[in-house]
Structure 1
Amino acid sequence: MKEYKRFLLYGLVVGTVIGFYLIFNLKSFVSYENIFIDKTDFMLSSRLIIYNKTCGLQHWKEKKNFGHRDDIPFFSILSTILSSTEKKIIIIEFGANVGQFSERVLSIPHKIPYIVHSIEPVLTLFHLLRNRSRTFKKEKNDKHFHYNLAISDQSGEKPIYSPSQYGEGSTLGKAFLSNFKEIENVTVTTLPEFIKKYHIKTPISFIKIDVEGFEPEVIRGMNLSINAKIFPLFSFETGETWLDDRSVLAKEYTLKSFVEMLNYFQYDSYFIGNPYLLPISGTYWKNSFDGLRRNPNVLAILRHSQPWKNLKKLLNRIPFTSC
């Protein structure tokens, strides 16, 4: 009888300890309602599949966030989930402009060397990018490469059109943009061909795509059906440039159908805010998300890749501020 009571007391103590542990460690899951858990495998891996839903949806509704410039400050969070290749973080950006993003990337303190490949097709902007890069704060073993070319779904030479003589807002397609003038020709290639030509190590840690409406062409040229594992994490801009006929391919998609295509290739998609990620794949899709005139950026992350696993670990450390 004494042994039975001792066993019950022992069980009560252990149960109490475990209970307090769960309460304190899962407080953010329960009280903030910002993280939702896939309950089907909670006891196995606690797969966190969404965070900041409440704040994210409110900011989306009030148009306070998820704009076309929120991707640059968000990199301070994104940098914590990047996976290295041969002990280096390898980043490629298309539509580098004059280096706003690459400067942000290289200025964030980091221990693993960053290798940044910046691609800018407009020659005037390319020269500004290259000159500005000399002033970037870089860690000892960082490298910043610059390329005057364009990335699409085919190779060759194409004219560039711009509403400005300086090349701001330039695009490979003119369509019905009457104020756009041809400013120069540029060499065009696909991402796999670019990587092969310049002997860039894969997988690529992160790819940023901002090419004024030709994002669908760039992503099609990535050939995700066979190359998804070497492109586990990338972002791309959407918005008005998908709606004005400059891109033939963009007219074939709504954002919803494009996200569904990425889901088919095993990518989860999120709107990028600052500091929010708003999930838009599958059951998280809302019809209001197709209001593309806000020019949001989308983060695509390959399920079960190392960045995807890193994001899982990060979610509970994101600061959850009041909306």
Structure 2
Amino acid sequence: MNYIHRRTISFQNLNSFLTLYRQDQDQHRLISTPFSSVFYCTKGESENQGKVYQEELRRNALWTACYAEDYIIQLYLADLGTTRERRKLLFDVGSNKGYVLAAWKSIWSPQNGVNQRSLGKYLSEKLLLSDCGVCNDCNEPLLSTKVNISRHMNVSVEIHAFEPQLSNYGILHQVQKWTNDTYLYVHNLAISNYTGTAVLLKCGRGGEACGLTVEKNLTDTERFLLVNVTTLDTFVQKFQITEIIDILKIDTEGYDPLVLTGANLIFKRQQIRLLIFEHHHVGFWASIHLRDVVENLDSKGYTCYMLGKTGLIRITRCWSSLFAEKRWSNVLCVLRNDERLRYFIEKLLISSTL
């Protein structure tokens, strides 16, 4: 058994009160436990959630693989007039070339002119990297065309980008210089469920599909490299980050469950407002069930949804077996106690769903 497997914590070993969450779904029922303001779907309603999901995928096979970034707009709108309006703390685990960072900056730092399209142009013209992103990110509609953004608002935006691939880390460093953003911190780190080192499959310049591996043959330096690894719990403790993290986005090519395990404390204390992670059949997802991950997050006060091109479909307490298919998909979760944010996020629910 390799060192990664020894440190793996199965989401199936959840504490006993999760049995409350698997009940006969023959009627709506609120549970008198903390964070219980989300009702259960009936069995029929859960099946409908799954059918709507299936229909969206029939129309667009990449519906949830390449999702819309409208959640960013909803967070922006939710925070207008609140204490979070002028301060944003954002974590991007697996930043690749920085297209998600560019989308964030287009909303909260619009005066800099950084967005997915300008980043694509910079990568192509200055770094000679003609790579638009796996989801054609550089041609995405600008978020600033969908909502009225104040270009004179003084927002403090702190972004932590984690990228273990040396080639992409170098690209992100160049992007940081291009944006001239002293509060964009680029970390050459892999994030997992332990602190130490790990073996990473090498990707070519700009590549997005290479993650950690159980391979130990470090003599093959053409294919593998040794990288430093830490947990999010350790990272926030080391840098004394105690404030709310507005967004945590995770894209680690199959190691997202381990990132979540290594963030157990920050989720327990509800330090994350919005979470996005990727789900498919690669890496540790091959042996971990999405439902177990969703129920674990539910126990910590988070409601999760399938995130897609046309909106959201709730999966927390509305589970359908159709959600279990291990296809390339993305899940968004919101802190239930943040009722204003949840209200705005649920404006993205597809109309025929709950």
TM-score (norm 1): 0.69
Amino acid at match of 2:102: E
Amino acid at match of 2:307: I
Which residue, 227, 235, 259 being the options, matches 2:276?
Answer: 235
Structure 1 stretches of 4+ moved >4 Å = 47-50, 52-57, 71-74, 82-87, 163-167, 313-316, 318-322
- Does the 8 Å CA contact 1:159/1:185 hold for their aligned counterparts? yes
Which residue, 147, 153, 173 being the options, matches 1:130?
Answer: 173
RMSD of equivalent CA atoms = 3.8
Inter-partner Cα distance in structure 2 for 1:134 and 1:201: 27
- Offset of residue 301 of structure 1: 1.7
- Does the 8 Å CA contact 1:67/1:296 hold for their aligned counterparts? yes
Q: Which residue of 2 aligns with 1:93?
A: 92
Inter-partner Cα distance in structure 2 for 1:234 and 1:183: 30
The CA deviation string for residues 147-166 of structure 1, in whole angstroms up to 9 with x for no partner, is 11111110011111136476
Q: Secondary structure at the match of 1:205?
A: strand
Q: Secondary structure at the match of 2:213?
A: coil
Q: Which residue of 2 aligns with 1:310?
A: 341
Over 3 Å counting, the alpha-carbon distance change for 1:226 and 1:105 in structure 2 is: closer
Over 3 Å counting, the alpha-carbon distance change for 1:86 and 1:196 in structure 2 is: farther
- Does the 8 Å CA contact 1:94/1:151 hold for their aligned counterparts? yes
- Offset of residue 313 of structure 1: 4.5
- Offset of residue 58 of structure 1: 3.1
- Indicate the structure with greater helix content: 1
Amino acid at match of 2:64: G
Which residue, 194, 197, 210 being the options, matches 2:235?
Answer: 194
Inter-partner Cα distance in structure 2 for 1:127 and 1:262: 34
- Offset of residue 310 of structure 1: 2.0
Which residue, 270, 278, 288 being the options, matches 2:322?
Answer: 288
- Does the 8 Å CA contact 1:123/1:148 hold for their aligned counterparts? yes
Which residue, 245, 248, 257 being the options, matches 1:204?
Answer: 245
Amino acid at match of 1:143: Y
1:102 and 2:104 are equivalent in the alignment: no
Amino acid at match of 1:62: R
Q: How much identity, in percent, do the aligned residues show?
A: 24
- Offset of residue 57 of structure 1: 5.7
Q: Secondary structure at the match of 1:170?
A: coil
Amino acid at match of 1:211: T
Q: Which residue of 2 aligns with 1:59?
A: 56
- Does the 8 Å CA contact 2:94/2:163 hold for their aligned counterparts? yes
Inter-partner Cα distance in structure 1 for 2:167 and 2:97: 9
Q: Secondary structure at the match of 1:281?
A: coil
Q: Which residue of 2 aligns with 1:168?
A: 208
Which residue, 161, 172, 187 being the options, matches 1:118?
Answer: 161
Q: Which runs of 5+ in 2 are unaligned?
A: 1-27, 31-36, 42-47, 108-148, 216-220
Q: Which residue of 2 aligns with 1:10?
A: none
Which residue, 261, 267, 283 being the options, matches 1:220?
Answer: 261
Inter-partner Cα distance in structure 1 for 2:100 and 2:286: 28
Over 3 Å counting, the alpha-carbon distance change for 1:120 and 1:169 in structure 2 is: same
Which residue, 312, 315, 330 being the options, matches 1:297?
Answer: 330
Inter-partner Cα distance in structure 1 for 2:61 and 2:97: 26
Q: Which has the higher contact order (CA 8 A, sep 6+)?
A: 2
- Offset of residue 67 of structure 1: 2.6
Q: Secondary structure at the match of 1:240?
A: coil
**Higher mean displacement: 77-86 or 205-214:** 77-86
Q: Which residue of 2 aligns with 1:12?
A: none
- Which one has a bigger Cα radius of gyration? 1
